[in-house]
């Protein structure tokens, strides 16, 4: 049976949810789960919960726990990455330093200075992981859940790793839209494509009926004509997908009550709805976060992911999830276990994956990371060639891939200037800060996070270690 290595298994709740997904497939219950983390205490918390779950259901699953990455990787068929390099300490710097310059990132893990520096901290670990995989499990598929998704997968592909990146935004947003329209989800037919956190619903139908006209009408009424009673006052259900609930503390895919004004405005301007919540989407474009009044207008209920993470009750939430999984082993909306099951059994599955753009979307940069439907079976992950996006949608995506490309080049070369270039090209950063402020901010981030950035020489030395 398959060996599945989970790197970063001490993370908050999600590694246990992933194990529950894997064990919900009867064909995978004989697998070996190799749980690895650099923090022995956090690793043991997850491992103890997994062992208890396996014992409760009397499964033949073999559970290994180790702080030795090479031991976890040896002979692995699948490598699942769930780590966050630097943890909360580094994350706090990612958001607090830019806020001192007037740049407020509600999440700060995908684009902008927060996303760039989170990626740069991860790059040395990804590079070491790629080297170890080439030696110890050269045929393994790397399933990446670590943000920033697009930068990380683009970089891993450049290192020669067979990689697919997975997110939950397509699943959660498609469900939210079906709810808004009162259409049973199983009757919806949709196609989404673009980049992670900014893929576009190119088609949204029920049978032969195009649902876009009524979608535009409904979302405008519920978000552009704001409900004075506040978010949720219209009684609409919230999407509480397992990963978003576990990782985010509360769903941000609410859909109504003015909370989706950002995405509704984007749809009105560019013609298509996209896949990431309005809170997060507001970070990727220059229109919504210019000052506090504008932020409050577009996002009436503030949501701050750093504060959510800092307030996590890790032991309590792990126990709650374990109790649910003891009651029923049922898959969540996440795609990781479905990929492993399809590849192992040959039972085909379609997932939305983040993969290298090799002719899949011709009006996005060659080699960039794109998110689109992928068929999975014994042949592995097979991306769908979607064709060109509507030109305005591709143009919006390219404002983000510009940042991603320069960050990846920085990680490959060790060139500090490319880090400055990446942050300077970020749409929100450019809308708020001068060139001088951006350079000073980036240098401050370099100084504060130097311990996690071995690839970069101190400013002014002209030395590039990579």
Instruction: With respect to residue 83, please indicate whether it lies within any of the assigned structural domains.
Output: yes
Identify the domain containing residue 428 by its residue range: 404-452
Residue 120: exposure state from Cβ atoms within 10 A (0-12, 13-18, ≥19): buried
Query: Do residues 124 and 205 share a domain?
Result: no
Query: Do residues 55 and 156 share a domain?
Result: yes
pLDDT digits (tens, 9 = 90+) for 103-155: 999 999 999 999 999 999 999 999 999 999 999 999 999 999 999 999 999 99
pLDDT digits (tens, 9 = 90+) for 259-270: 899 999 999 999
Query: Do residues 102 and 10 share a domain?
Result: yes
pLDDT digits (tens, 9 = 90+) for 413-462: 999 999 999 999 999 999 999 999 999 999 999 999 999 999 996 655 44
Query: Do residues 235 and 162 share a domain?
Result: no
Residue 249: its pLDDT value, please? Answer: 34
**Closest Cα to residue 5, out of 32, 28, 25, 41?**
32
Residue 229: its pLDDT value, please? Answer: 33
Residue 236: its pLDDT value, please? Answer: 27
**What is the length of the chain?**
466
Whether the CB-CB separation of 329 and 25 falls below 8 Å is answered with: no
Rounded to the nearest 10 degrees, the angle between the axes of helix 112-136 and helix 391-413 is 60
Q: pTM for the full model?
A: 0.91
Residue 26: its pLDDT value, please? Answer: 96
Query: Do residues 256 and 223 share a domain?
Result: yes
The list of the chain residues with pLDDT below 50 reads 227-250, 461-466
Instruction: With respect to residue 42, please indicate whether it lies within any of the assigned structural domains.
Output: yes
What is the domain count for the chain?
3
**Closest Cα to residue 200, out of 260, 254, 275, 300?**
275
The catalytic residue positions are: 168
Query: Do residues 279 and 357 share a domain?
Result: no
Provide the CATH number for the domain around residue 330.
3.90.1820.10
Instruction: With respect to residue 312, please indicate whether it lies within any of the assigned structural domains.
Output: no
State the DSSP H helix or E strand holding residue 352, giving kind and residue range, or none if neither.
strand 349-356
Instruction: With respect to residue 457, please indicate whether it lies within any of the assigned structural domains.
Output: no
């Amino acid at each position: 049976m398959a060996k599945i290595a989970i790197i970063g298994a001490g993370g908050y709740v999600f590694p246990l949810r992933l194990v529950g997904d894997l064990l919900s497939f009867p064909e995978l219950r004989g697998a070996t789960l190799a749980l690895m983390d650099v923090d022995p205490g956090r690793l043991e918390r997850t491992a103890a919960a997994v062992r208890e779950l396996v014992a409760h259901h009397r499964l033949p699953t073999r559970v290994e726990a180790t702080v030795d990455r090479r031991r976890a990787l040896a002979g692995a068929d699948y490598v699942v990455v769930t780590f966050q390099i630097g943890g909360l300490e580094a994350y706090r710097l990612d958001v607090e330093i830019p806020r001192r310059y007037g740049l407020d990132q509600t999440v700060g893990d995908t684009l902008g200075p927060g996303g760039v520096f989170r990626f740069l901290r991860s790059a040395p670990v990804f590079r070491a992981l790629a080297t170890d995989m080439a030696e110890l499990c050269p045929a393994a598929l790397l399933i990446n859940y670590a943000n920033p998704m697009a930068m990380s997968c683009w970089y891993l592909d450049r290192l020669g790793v067979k990689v697919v990146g997975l997110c939950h935004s397509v699943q959660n947003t498609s469900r939210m839209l079906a709810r808004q329209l009162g259409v049973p989800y199983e009757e919806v037919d949709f196609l989404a494509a673009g980049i992670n956190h900014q893929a576009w619903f190119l088609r949204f139908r029920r049978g032969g009926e195009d649902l876009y006209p009524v979608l535009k009408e409904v979302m405008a009424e519920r978000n552009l004509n704001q409900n004075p009673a506040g978010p949720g006052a219209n009684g609409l259900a919230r999407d509480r997908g397992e990963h978003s609930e576990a990782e985010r503390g509360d769903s941000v895919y609410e859909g109504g009550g003015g909370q989706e004004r950002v995405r509704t405005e984007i749809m009105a301007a560019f013609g298509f709805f996209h896949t990431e919540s309005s809170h997060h989407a507001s970070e990727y474009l220059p229109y919504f976060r210019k000052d506090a009044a504008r932020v409050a207008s577009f996002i009436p209920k503030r949501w701050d992911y750093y504060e959510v993470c800092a307030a996590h009750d890790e032991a309590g939430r792990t126990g709650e999830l374990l109790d649910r999984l003891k009651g029923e082993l049922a898959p969540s909306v996440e795609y990781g276990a479905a990929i492993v099951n399809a590849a192992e059994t040959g039972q085909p599955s379609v997932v939305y994956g983040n993969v290298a753009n090799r002719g899949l979307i011709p009006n996005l940069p060659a080699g960039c990371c794109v998110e689109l439907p992928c068929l999975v079976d014994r042949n592995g992950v097979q991306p769908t060639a979607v064709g060109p996006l509507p030109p305005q949608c591709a143009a919006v995506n390219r404002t983000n891939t510009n940042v991603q490309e320069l960050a990846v080049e920085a990680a490959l070369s060790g060139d500090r200037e490319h880090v400055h270039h990446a942050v300077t090209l970020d749409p929100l950063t450019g809308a708020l800060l001068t060139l001088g402020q951006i350079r000073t901010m980036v240098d401050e981030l370099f100084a504060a996070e130097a311990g996690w950035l071995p690839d970069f020489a101190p400013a002014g030395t002209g030395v590039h270690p990579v």
